[in-house]
Structure formats: structure tokens, C-alpha cells
Amino acid sequence: MYNNIDLVSGDVSIIYFKREEKLNTLTLDMVNDIKNAMEEVKDTARCVIIEGKRNFSAGADIKQFRDLNPIDAYSFHRKLNELAFYFRDYNVPVISVLNGYVLGGGLELSLSTDIRVCSKNAQLGQPEINIGVNAGAGGNVILPHVIGRNRALYMILTGEKIDAQTAYNFGLVDIISDDPHNEALRIASMIAKNL
């Protein structure tokens, strides 16, 4: 039914990003698929998990912008920003499982989830400054609220990737796990029983 994601529906619904060959970089179609899947389960799920199998998301698919006119490029950024707000306003908790690359728009989406479970191998960052663009999903606004002004400035102004332990120390992730998928399932199952 969806081209860019797989959806497992239930009390705990799981959205798997499936553009692994592209590091789960975000396109307009993928953003629409995520939103539509969340709409599909909003009346039945008690918790939603979003994740990639090897990478969460390395951010926006920069290659798509070569083929987009300015109006479509603006539409992509607007839709990505709307998806981040949608996560924050969703009617049940959203858990993100962060593994591999969690960069740019991928990090911004995770910032809008309620609980972030991180693998030890994750690399997180806001690298937009390295390519001369602004964070398209409000990361420059959200990040300081999550980890504080100075740490956010460090990440935004250097574009440097940080490891899972640093992200945990910063307060950017809630849990580090050897098995983040199963840890997220454990947490989501507890939430589903309580709602």
C-alpha cells in the first residue's frame, strides 16, 4: 500500500522506513506516506513506533531538489515541518528508534517524538550548515528546547555528528539500548496497557 514505508498495525503500530539503500533520506512521497500511515492507525493504535532497520534517517534527500522547482521544494519543507508538528500533536505517544544515521530532517522528526530510544551505533547531527541550508523541519527552534541553547548552538553551528552516549548526556535521547527495537516494543506495550 505504501511505497516508502511498511506499516504494522495494532495496539502498538510500527512504521518502518524502507529507503535503506538511500539511508532512509526523506522525500515528499515518504513524508506523505508517514503521515497517511499515522492517520490510518490514529483511531486504533495506543502507541506508534517509527524506525528504520539500519538507519533512522539521514535527513532530506538532497538529490530530489535537483528535480524540484522552487514551489515544490518549498512544499517539501512545509510538509516536513507539518509532519514534525503532527508528531507533537498526535493523539497517542510516538516512540522513535534511532539507529545508524539520525541527521538533519531525520533528527528533527525524532525531536518531535515523545520517547527516543537509541542504539549504541547511532550518529546524530544537524549537518545543514555544511551544505548552506536551514533546518527545514524547525530543528533550530526545537533543538534548544530539548538540549539547551549552548549545546544546540554547538550542534547547529559545527554540523558535527555526535555519538549515542554524547546524545544521551546532552538529553537528546532518552534511552540507549543494545536492542533498541525490542526496548521500544517493551515501552510501547506498557503504554498500550495503560491507555
The set of catalytic residues is 108, 128
Q: The C-alpha cell of 101 is what?
A: 544515521
DSSP assignment of 55-71, as one string? -SB-SB-GGGGGG--HH
User: How many residues does the structure list for the chain?
Assistant: 195
For residue 170, the tally of other CB atoms under 10 A from its CB is 18
